[in-house]
Amino acid sequence: MSATTSSSSATPPAQLWPAPTATGPVTATVQLPGSKSVTNRALLLAALADGPGVVRQALRSRDADLMVSALRALGASLTASGESAAGVDWHVTPGPIRGGVSIDAGLAGTVMRFVPPVAALADGPVSFDGDAHARKRPMGPILDALRALGAHIDNDALPFTISGPLTGGEVTIDASGSSQFVSGLLLTAARFDKGVTIRHVGPPVPSQPHIEMTVEMLRAAGVTVDDSERDAWRVLPGPIAARDMTVEPDLSNAAPFLAAALVTGGSVTIPSWPEQTTQAGDALRGLLASMGAAVSREAGSELVVTGSGEVRGIDADLHEVGELTPTIAALAALATTPSRIRGVSHLRGHETDRLAALATEINRLGGDAEETADGLIVRPRALHGGVFHSYDDHRMATAGAVIGLAVPGVQVENVATTAKTLPEFVQMWTAMLTGSERMGADR
């Protein structure tokens, strides 16, 4: 049958979600499920540990499910209990690391960068592939590093096959494209015979808090990590202790909900905001205050963000917290004064080229956004309705939802892509706007 007569071969129509427009100030308490970054580190460390462990209130999402499948394929046993809106408790029993398997990384940076070092310890070759766009995400520096440490790898990006043995040792790497190159090597390094010493040479490494998260979680598992020298990390070989730990709520996924307080002049409360955390989302407290919000932390560690009805522009270097850029850019598109976002050229290697995507989609709605070499300039201009494309990027989809709060007629294409880290996004967003007192996960 020819393509023109086969309905099954036709491109399916884009799924458009009418982003709800707020009819007044939002007042809501939003409980967020667990952090993607903490969940996927915790699962991987549990699978490499010296005995059975538990990861509690873990995120259930596409990226987390991909990590679970990858670790199972490599020989760990993971069983779920207590599944609720708050997440799931994973009981993880490590096993001998098994080769001869294929891993699907989807579009998950934490799978494509964190799992190959584990696979290099397997007793046979392990193949990796992912979504079409995943093949474009930068992998070269971590694959070169694994080669330098002893592994054989047949490509410089997805798809590739990796085989050990990997002994570890010293390696120099340019991690300016992604902090995940460093985190990926560090997470497994204690299991390499010689441990690992990583030296970064190149423009500054982004997302330092995510590297701190890696180091902190390794130390909590009894691993010796020396990060006293700038741009160098040393992990001694040794056991990774089995733990029983609980995942913090995902503070980066709080961003669009907190942004709703600014856009509508309302108030959004996030319970269980950690007192101390390495999550990038903690920077929202300062960023949203600069854009005009009143931000307070209440007893019992609730975070409350209250908008005045006016969103102010911002000049911010988001190099350390790049994953907050889509929400900040959406707010900038609704602001009364110009904004400049700097330091985030590495976002071109995220789920999509986020700088190009944000400028294109804001301008498609009548806005005035300009890409720079390392960020965006967004100037105030009245927006109109239209389709906001997500590019299979969960944070683009939620950025479209934020704009839709203030601009009637915004339709977000493929909002289902939010399943990467927050499968309940649409229900939680709708509940926030319809005034349910508490919504989201019960933590």
Ligand X SMILES: O=C(O)C1=C[C@@H](OP(=O)(O)O)[C@@H](O)[C@H](O)C1
Spell out, one character per residue from 331 to 360, where the chain touches ligand X: x when CB under 6 A holds, - when not: ---------------x--------------
Q: From the list 57, 179, 197, 277, which residue makes contact with ligand X (rule: CB under 6 A)?
A: 179
Question: Residue 370 is which amino acid?
Answer: E
Q: From the list 106, 281, 322, 404, which residue makes contact with ligand X (rule: CB under 6 A)?
A: 322
Nearest approach, Cβ of residue 206 and ligand X (Å):
5
Nearest approach, Cβ of residue 133 and ligand PEP (Å):
10
Tell me the C-alpha distance between 144 and 220, whole Å: 29
Q: Does 350 bind ligand PEP (CB under 6 A)?
A: yes
Tell me the C-alpha distance between 139 and 175, whole Å: 10
Query: Using an 8 Å Cβ cutoff, are 227 and 201 in contact?
Result: no
In this structure, the strands spanning 126-129 and 152-153 are unpaired
Nearest approach, Cβ of residue 49 and ligand X (Å):
19
Looking at beta carbons, which residue is closest to ligand PEP?
A: 109
Tokens encoding 322: 């790049």
Question: 178 a known binding residue?
Answer: yes
DSSP 34: B
Tokens encoding 261: 């307080």
Question: 350 a known binding residue?
Answer: yes
Burial of 332 (0-12, 13-18, 19+ CB in 10 A): buried
Question: 109 a known binding residue?
Answer: yes
In this structure, the strands spanning 169-173 and 196-200 are parallel
- The interface partner of residue 354, options being ligand X, ligand PEP, none and the CB cut-off 5 to 8 Å by kind, is none
- Cβ proximity to ligand X, 26 vs 422, nearer residue: 422
Question: 152 a known binding residue?
Answer: no
Question: Residue 350 is which amino acid?
Answer: H
Q: Does 108 bind ligand PEP (CB under 6 A)?
A: yes
Tell me the C-alpha distance between 270 and 255, whole Å: 10
- Cβ proximity to ligand PEP, 110 vs 197, nearer residue: 110
Question: 179 a known binding residue?
Answer: yes
Residue whose tokens read 């690992």: 196
- The interface partner of residue 29, options being ligand PEP, ligand X, none and the CB cut-off 5 to 8 Å by kind, is none
Sheet with 101-104, strands from edge to edge, namely 101-104, 126-129, 160-163, 152-153
Tell me the C-alpha distance between 333 and 403, whole Å: 8
Which residues, 103 to 122, sit near ligand X by CB under 6 A? 109-110
Return the active site residues: 323
- Cβ proximity to ligand PEP, 103 vs 304, nearer residue: 103
Q: Does 210 bind ligand X (CB under 6 A)?
A: yes
Query: Using an 8 Å Cβ cutoff, are 269 and 292 in contact?
Result: no
Question: 364 a known binding residue?
Answer: no
Which residues, 109 to 138, sit near ligand PEP by CB under 6 A? 109-110
Q: Does 323 bind ligand PEP (CB under 6 A)?
A: yes
Nearest approach, Cβ of residue 115 and ligand X (Å):
13
Q: Which residues contact 350 (CB under 8 A, 6 or more apart)?
A: 109, 137, 322, 323, 393
- Cβ proximity to ligand X, 108 vs 304, nearer residue: 108
- The interface partner of residue 395, options being ligand X, ligand PEP, none and the CB cut-off 5 to 8 Å by kind, is ligand PEP
Nearest approach, Cβ of residue 56 and ligand PEP (Å):
21
Q: Does 395 bind ligand PEP (CB under 6 A)?
A: yes
Could you tell me the CA-to-CA distances from 199 to 120, 202, 208, 383 in Å, in that order? 20, 10, 15, 46
Tell me the C-alpha distance between 107 and 278, whole Å: 23
- The interface partner of residue 210, options being ligand X, ligand PEP, none and the CB cut-off 5 to 8 Å by kind, is ligand X
Burial of 390 (0-12, 13-18, 19+ CB in 10 A): buried
Which residues, 9 to 38, sit near ligand X by CB under 6 A? 37
- Cβ proximity to ligand X, 29 vs 207, nearer residue: 207
**Residue 324, CB-side half-sphere exposure with 13 Å CA sphere:** 34
Tell me the C-alpha distance between 247 and 221, whole Å: 14
Q: From the list 29, 39, 183, 278, which residue makes contact with ligand X (rule: CB under 6 A)?
A: 183
Question: 183 a known binding residue?
Answer: no
Peptide linkage before 159 cis (omega within 30 of 0):
yes
Q: From the list 180, 277, 306, 327, which residue makes contact with ligand X (rule: CB under 6 A)?
A: 180
Instruction: Write out the binding residues for 3-phosphoshikimate.
Output: 36-37, 41, 178-180, 207, 323, 350
* Binding site residues, ligand X, CB under 6 A: 37, 109-110, 178-180, 183, 206-207, 210, 322-323, 346
* Binding site residues, ligand PEP, CB under 6 A: 108-110, 323, 350-351, 395, 421
